[in-house]
Structure 1
Amino acid sequence: MNKQKVCLVSLGCPKNLVDAEVMLGHLPPDRFTITNEELEADILIINTCAFIQDAQEESIDTILEATRFKEHGRCRLLIVTGCLPQRYQQQLAEQLPEVDLFLGTGDAARIVEQIDAWQQAGRQRCCIGAPDSLYDHDTPRLQASPFYSAYVKIAEGCSNHCSYCIIPQLRGALRSRSCASIVTEVRQRVAAGVREVNLIAQDITAYGRDRTDGARLEDLLRELVQIDELRWLRLLYAYPDGISDELIELMATHDKICPYLDLPLQHVADDLLRAMNRRIDRAGIDRLVKRLRDRVPQLTLRTSFIVGFPGETAEHFQQLLAFVEQGQFDRVGVFRYSREEGTAAALLDNQIPEREKKKRQNKLMKAQSRVSFRKHQALRGQQIAVLVEGYSEETDLLLQGRAISQAPDIDGLVYITAGQANVGDIVPLQISDTTEYDLIGEIVEAEADQP
């Protein structure tokens, strides 16, 4: 039997990428081969995001582009999975007859079963299950990220119920994996050559709250840092009120835990934070940042803000702008509020015009770019640890990598102008120049893998 070629395009966040990897892991190699070329694929899978309007539009555009491969390529089966069909299954089935199979956020492990069912039925199928799945260390998974870096999802779903967010409806309530399962998976990844593990969840600080075995993030980290060959352990998506003194102390005392924290704040105006159903106020934010900076001075702090939330006045925005200009955060992402059907915030009065949202977004990003440039300039002459990722996309005369202060895919890069190292090595680098988002420097020692 000829093997069918499968191409999977995953959109959105790393949590979505893990779902895609699980899906690929369930494809038996005696029946399927994986290709990165859409034109060569017999089966094309689009794993979608539907978090905000921009993500939905990107998903739809990608699906429509994929339909061309049914017309002009080898594709005979077009599958759309993930958040978009979980949310809009009926509408998508009606409006996209070119799509053969729809699967939801909890259906990755059912991919082969559903492919077989479609091939028998020969017509469009919409098979959206409840968003209640949770993979573990035994779940088949084909790593799509580079061999030296992996994402490990420690929990699925969310129970925070922020008023602007649709995630609980798409992903379900918080479901934490056991500590033993996570430690086993990380050991497996490290044994396969992974040097950097990125722990992800909708809110990693909520890890264990739903369990009855006393699992906590702090205890999980104590076990993970004992894994010998693990070099970098990065914490992504931490809810502000879940940052304990114990967690800060762990970051301060264990070299394997990257001095990096992704800490989404969303705003700093107290009345907007209450309207967003965030469990922190401006005074709490200031105290938290001070606690972090005092105990972990070298910490890289990343956050995200929403502009144009209903009722955001010019004064509210000025508070946010002034906060960003203080330079307390090294990295900032800015999102325009997206009025999502089914969320509490969609029913609020005083919705902000889109034009004003874009204006505020641009202004805030420009302010942060000035902050980023100043912070990077201050790094000149310093030595940092850099994970080498290969030749630069700009020129094969330079190596590129990421500093310990740069998370994969969302932060900048390091361009290496002198010195040699292998892909996956962690090397000391002296910074010679900077831009707003990238660093430039030279490897200062021939020996790789210095802490």
Structure 2
Amino acid sequence: MEKLKVGVINLGCDKNRIDSEIIIGSLSERYDMTNDPKLANIILVNTCGFIESSKQESIDTILEMSEYKKKYKCTVLIATGCLTQRYGAELLELMPELDIMLGVNDYNKLLSSIEEVLLKNTKVQHCTYSDENINEGERVLTTGTYSAYIRISEGCDNACAYCAIPLIRGKYRSRKMENILQEAKGLGQQGCKEIILVAQDTTRYGIDLYGKKTLHKLIREISKINGIQWIRVLYCYAEEMTDEIINEIATNDKVCKYVDIPIQHISDDILKSMRRKGRKNIITENINKMRTSIVGLNLRTTLIVGFPGETEENFEELKQFIVETKFDKLGVFKYSMEDGTVASEMTNQIPEEIKVKREEELMIIQQGISKELNSKKIGKIYKVLVEGVDGKTHFGRNYEMAPEVDGTIFFESDVVYNKGEFVVVKVTKALEYDLIGVVCYEPCE
């Protein structure tokens, strides 16, 4: 008997991607997987519910996939992830097209739920809240075998006023170091060359399990694994960067000199209102310390504009900080009012047109900064991880570039390189966010 085919659509962040890869690993033991929803008997949408735009994308995708129940082979439509965890039965009632709805702590019920729907032609819903569960298991990589994300913790204790993640994912809980290392070794054996560590807050790793921050020890152990050449750390809190973490990044040759610190704002008034722990003085102090200690450091941050109560003075302070600090990479989000958060109850909400204007202003400033910094890279030589080729034009990333959020290096070569290979590229031209170069055979800097 021919196996049923399942298609999985992932939305949202890289932590969601990891959940999707675990889901695919589980499903592929019993079903055939397909990337074509027209061929799928079962379609699963792993949703995001972080901000309003991501919620809308999730809903639109579910509705789009529901059309495949009418026109093609799909008989079971499943929604999982943050949106389903957050809205539960309410979402199932609003979207009768769904047959199965599972929250972020119920993926172990997926296979039995599918069987129940197929046998009984019923609807199934499980949305359990947990401060203990961490999704672990065999994964099928969707990023290519050369690069993979590893989640080192689940949940968050920071309770920022704008964020619904603790309501969805629960309290902060670190994964056991031995489990992470076992996963990293398995990925290395599959040919993975780049490990990207993610969490809601990577800098707090281990504080609940081991009584102190142990991210630096985890990084050191991962760097001992054969095959792993790059270790990249995302979602660090600037105020939580210890000397041990900074030193490990500075001295460990396998660690990308790239630190992602989503500071969100710099005005102390807004940081306090956001319930952020950091303040301008400590953020600035730690940025300076990192730049002094880590040679070749690339700093990335994300900001929120239009938070309730953000005055013109607060925004001007933020603009001036961006001009002075010159982050290598920077992203901007407009504040999104999220149900159940402290900020959603604040009365001094900012009009949408002001949010849009402030977002545009910051991105224009950053575009100029990025072009200026990139121009200084002309003539420099980088080790580049190849991600694709079109004719003679290849593209990839150097250590300064995280996948999907940062720029790309394009380079010409008569030799066709495979995805996942490392090549040496000399930069010949700089754009606002991307670099252009040629393959060379000089030693990497």
TM range (shorter): over 0.9
Structure 2 counterpart of 1:258, from 256, 259, 276: 256
Question: What are the superposed Cα offsets for residues 132-181 of structure 1, whole Å, 9 maximum, x if unpaired?
Answer: 42134xx2221111110011111111111111100001101111111111
TM-score of the two chains, using structure 2 as the length reference: 0.96
Q: How does 1:72-151 map to 2 (within 5 A)?
A: 72-131=71-130, 132-136=132-136, 139-151=137-149
Offset of residue 322 of structure 1: 1.3
Q: Deviations over 1:4-23 (max 9, x none)?
A: 11110100000000000111
Do the aligned partners of 1:79 and 1:100 also contact (CA within 8 Å) in 2?
A: yes
Aligned-partner residue type, residue 422 of structure 1: N
In 2: Cα distance, 1:353 partner to 1:12 partner: 26
- Note the 1:393-432 alignment, pairs <5 A: 395-418=390-413, 420=415, 421-432=417-428
1:42 is the counterpart of 2:41: yes
1:23-422 to 2 correspondences below 5 Å: 23-29=23-29, 31-131=30-130, 132-136=132-136, 139-212=137-210, 216-391=214-389, 395-418=390-413, 420=415, 421-422=417-418
Determine if contact 1:419/1:443 at 8 Å carries over to the other structure: no
Checking the alignment, whether the CA contact within 8 Å between 2:105 and 2:135 is kept in structure 1 is no
Shift of 1:91: 2.0
2: distance between equivalents of 1:215 and 1:247?
A: 9
Q: What is the CA-CA distance between 1:216 and the residue it aligns to?
A: 1.2
Alpha-carbon offset, residue 214 of structure 1: 5.5
Q: Structure 1 vs Structure 2: percent identity of aligned residues? A: 39
Stretches (4+) displaced over 4 A: 212-215
Shift of 1:234: 0.3
What root-mean-square deviation, in Å, do the aligned CA atoms of Structure 1 and Structure 2 show? 1.5
Return closer, same or farther for 1:12/1:76 CA change in 2, 3 Å cut-off: same
Kept in 1, the 8 Å contact 2:198–2:235? The answer is: yes
| Equivalent AA in structure 2 for residue 442 of structure 1 | V
**Distance in 2 of aligned mates of 1:212 and 1:20:** 29
Q: Is the 8 A contact 1:418 1:441 kept in 2?
A: no
Question: What one-letter code is carried by the residue in structure 2 that aligns with 1:398?
Answer: T
Between the aligned partners of 1:194 and 1:221, the Cα distance in structure 2 is 16
Q: Which amino acid in structure 2 is aligned with residue 19 of structure 1? A: D
Query: Separation in 1 of the partners of 2:12 and 2:151?
Result: 15
Hey, what's the Cα distance between the residues in 2 that align with 1:184 and 1:215?
20
Amino acid at match of 2:296: Q
Whether 1:433 and 2:429 are equivalent positions in the alignment is yes
Asked if the contact 2:216/2:248 (under 8 Å) is kept, the reply is: yes
C-alpha deviation, 1:291, in angstroms: 0.3
Moved more, 286-295 or 103-112: 103-112
Which letter does structure 1 place at the counterpart of 2:328?
D
Deviates more, 1:44-53 or 1:113-122: 113-122
Q: Determine helix, strand or coil for the equivalent of 1:274.
A: helix
Note if contact 2:392-2:414 (Cα within 8 Å) is conserved in structure 1: no
Q: CA deviation at 1:215?
A: 6.6
Distance 2:7 2:281 in 1: 49
CA contact (8 A) 2:300 2:329 kept: yes
In 2, the alpha carbon distance for the partners of 1:308 and 1:76 equals 43
Name the SS of the counterpart of 1:143 in structure 2: coil
Deviations 1:400-448 (A, max 9, x none): 111111001111111111353332112221000121111111111299x
Q: Rate the CA distance shift 1:192–1:446 in 2: closer, same or farther, 3 A.
A: farther
Number of equivalent positions: 443
Name the counterpart of 1:4: 4
Q: How far apart are the structure 2 equivalents of 1:140 and 1:430?
A: 38
Give, in whole Å, the separation in 2 of the partners of 1:90 and 1:135: 22
The answer (yes or no) to whether the contact 2:220–2:252 under 8 Å persists in 1 is no
Distance, in Å, in 2 between the alignment partners of 1:244 and 1:419 is 46
> Aligned equivalents of 2:414 and 2:331: distance in 1?
33
Residue by residue over 1:221-251, the C-alpha shift from the partner in whole angstroms, topping out at 9 and shown as x without a partner, is 1211112321000001111221011111111
Residues 214 and 277 of structure 1, relative CA distance in 2, 3 Å threshold: closer
What residue identity is the alignment partner of 1:169?
A: L
**What does the per-residue CA deviation read over 1:251-281, in whole Å, with 9 as the maximum and x for residues that have no partner?**
1111100001110000000011011111111
The CA distance in 2 between the partners of 1:212 and 1:237, in whole Å, is 20
* In structure 1, C-alpha distance between the alignment counterparts of 2:123 and 2:353, rounded to whole Å: 39
Q: Is the Cα–Cα contact under 8 Å of residues 203 and 213 in structure 2 kept in the other structure? A: no
Q: 1:178 to 1:217 in 2, by over 3 A?
A: same
Which stretches in structure 2 are left out of the alignment for 5+ residues?
none
**TM-score where L is the length of structure 1:** 0.95
